[in-house]
Structure 1
Amino acid sequence: MMTLAKAASLLALISLPLAAYADVEFTHPDPGSTVNSGDILTAYWKDSGEAPSLLDLRDYDLFLCAGGPSEEYSADSTFSQEDLALLVQDGLFERGNSVSFQIQPNLGSPYPDAYFLKMISRGPNNATAVNYSQRFSVNGMKGQFSERVWYGLSLTNDADSHQDLRKRQAAGATALYTVPYPEQSTGLTKYAPMARQPGTTITAKSAPPVFPTSAFSVARTFLPIPTWQTTLTAPQTLSTSGIENPATPAPHPKDDMELFLRRWADDA
């Protein structure tokens, strides 16, 4: 029977980014290499020599990811990287050890060694495994990273560069949250503005909608799989303060027990 400690170790092993521990080992893109957005790119992999064998795997999904942490496992790995795009869905291993795709320039920011590939492989009995490529750069990127990605990138840099990363993070986050929600049609993450705070006085006589209604179509057939997976809301900037009430507490009522008991008296 697997102990809790062994289960935690296995989960850490599977989640460890940027290293292939089983089944798939990426051989291209090369670590530290640079590719161009919009070009037809090809990823290559081989059998890592560890179980399960590639011959035992059926199909896979390939994602473009960005963020951190570095090669060493960190508890922050789940919260410091993001799937930017699903590049290949239900790819078949029987077609070979390579696949071609395009990286759209609006998926992320221009930042060195920020990108890597993630492959989720599936085999018999619904078994799955996750493997990662080495980091690489993408020229021509014109999009914005999320706060999560900037945080992950900060984990891969030394302390001297953290201040610059925070500035990039703040600028990127502000731009993302100001784009109207219906206009965010790319990526796997959407961004919602900070929740509105009530005013200090009540002046409105009615409650009209704050934003216009969204257009919609009634579904008459099965809908496609949603193109986004997560919605992040801008953090609250509201701050409050309070002081102790200096008023003297009112005294407890006196001589009211008889009046209280009289309520339960039987008048019959």
Structure 2
Amino acid sequence: MPAFMQCNPLVHLLFLLSVPIHHAFAIGIEFTTPAGGATWPAGPITINWTDAGGDPNMADLTTYTLQLMVGGNSPDNSKALQTVGKENAMVSDKGVEDDIQADLAQSIQNGFYLMMTSNTSQGNQVINYSNRFTLIQMNGTTEEAYLSGANKEAGAVSNVPEAQYNVISQPTASATSSSTPSATSSSTASTVTSTASASPSATDHPHSGKSNGETAAIITGCIFAVIGLVSIFIWAVFFIRRARRKRAERSAIEREAALNDSTSDLGKLAFVDGKAELPAHSASSSSSTFPRELTPTTERYEMHGFDKRAEAPSEMVFELEGDIGLYEAGSGRKSKAYDPTL
């Protein structure tokens, strides 16, 4: 220390006062509205801020999230009541307008303040606080812990947490070891504080959705799959109907052939020695090949065969033509034969 300062305490004091003092809020932004100690009713509110003049300054900040706080200065006795404006808005807007809901809490003298969590262009984080102010026309309730914290700190409007600059360490590749992201918190008063949670940012939440090309490919694949299923169904119906039609045609041909066989057997008559002969086989049974003769016996025409006597049914009348005359046969009545010699 210089000799003149050792001998003159007054000069020493003036020297210390001449050293510039770094203000606790001189990083990021500084709130201008609402002012410390101001009174605002529930409903519409306008919030403005400006550059605090420190490092990092407002130009280094990108997006922010703004919250209305109630209570004291520690996480145990303070609470975020509402997000003001939209999340991840731009700090460069220098202001925001929103509505304060009346049922969030009760009115507390200097019991409210604002907390802005913003991101820097380097991926770090800055937290700024406004001075305390009063909200009136509030009709909600406040828990005892937050009410006591607010009353404890309400004596001075500037009695709020200190601004914080949190440096977020980025992972670096190493041949021998791998590093993991870590965060260190430091306040403007050069005191180490606990790590604060960062607000949502583009670097913290990488895009995890599918690209437009992948989505279009998936949709196209689904369309072709549906078309394929419909085509398979149509072909299956076509082949089933075709098979049924083929079976029906074969059945019709078989029935027609059977009918032709039965009618052809009835129509085959032969005359042997002036006698009409009927075939011994039929459509239902073709085991016998011996002919059966129809001869006049006791004034009745009978059909004789090797197995049993057969008579024509009464519902039908058979006429047999030959070289010697016409014969009629009927069941249940007698018929006389025509004899050309008589």
TM-score computed with the length of structure 1 as normaliser? 0.46
Larger Rg: 2
Greater relative contact order (Cα < 8 A, sep 6+): 1
Please state which structure has a larger fraction of its residues in strand: 2
